[in-house]
Amino acid sequence: MNEAAHSAVRGLLNTWERSEMLEDERMAAYLHSLDPVLPEGLYALEKSALEREIPIIRRSTQSLLRFLIRKARPLRILEIGTAVGFSALFMRLYQDPSGEIVTIEKVPAKIAEAKEHLREMDPEGAIRLLEGDAAEVLEDLVQAGEVYDMVFLDAAKAQYPAYLVPIRRLLAPGGLLVSDNVLQDGTVAQSRFAVTRRDRTIHSRMREFLHQLTHDEELTTVILPVGDGVALSVKERVEE
């Protein structure tokens, strides 16, 4: 194929990719228009976080969480990765009023901001923020005999494999683990040599984590292309 033909093919591919992206954006915008409107305070927090490029759960992930919480009705939710408090406050909207959420964060600046938002939007104190390294806090919760109906994992991606062992112990039989951002913008499907050197550790550990989830006899897992990828894992009930 000569250079002119190569150029024509590249042009067609670029046009097709732009068209696909536009269609995806149109579909996402339409689906988002069907979602319930966020309360004013939570909407303002979402807008502020996006403007400051602070990662928070995407709209499609919000829709999935809303459905899961209303369907599974978890009374005790553990969140790993508070950030500024948006996802904990969002989940609380759809949780039973008698429920509670425990959320873990170690970054001081995020802790300070999250505390402010929780004071404003969770006056009942149903959301409890635990400060510290997630691995250490999780072990403390295991030692304390804590049990949760649902765990939402949205923390340091390279640590996902290390978190899985304590999470399994903290999940109640029939409990649900929701792991966010597991597809890493699609790079998880690529060879490690196709990703930049600085991202190879996250790449290899995320692949390790997904292999653990899908080959764990105690868990039943499905991986959905929602947002940046969400893995849903149910801890099997042990028959008497």
The residues, any chain, with a CB within 8 Å of residue 240's CB and separated by 6 or more, are: none
Write the pLDDT tens digit of every residue in 228-240.
889 999 998 765 4
For the chain, report the end-to-end CA distance as a whole number of angstroms: 67
Pair type for strands 76-80 and 100-105: parallel
Binned at pLDDT 50, 70 and 90, residue 138 comes out as very high
- The DSSP result for 12-25, as a single string, is HHHHHHHHHHHHHH
Write the pLDDT tens digit of every residue in 64-102.
999 999 999 999 999 999 999 999 999 999 999 999 999
225 vs 202, residue with greater confidence: 225
Supply the mean pLDDT for the chain.
85
The pTM for the full model equals 0.85
Per-residue pLDDT at 91: 98
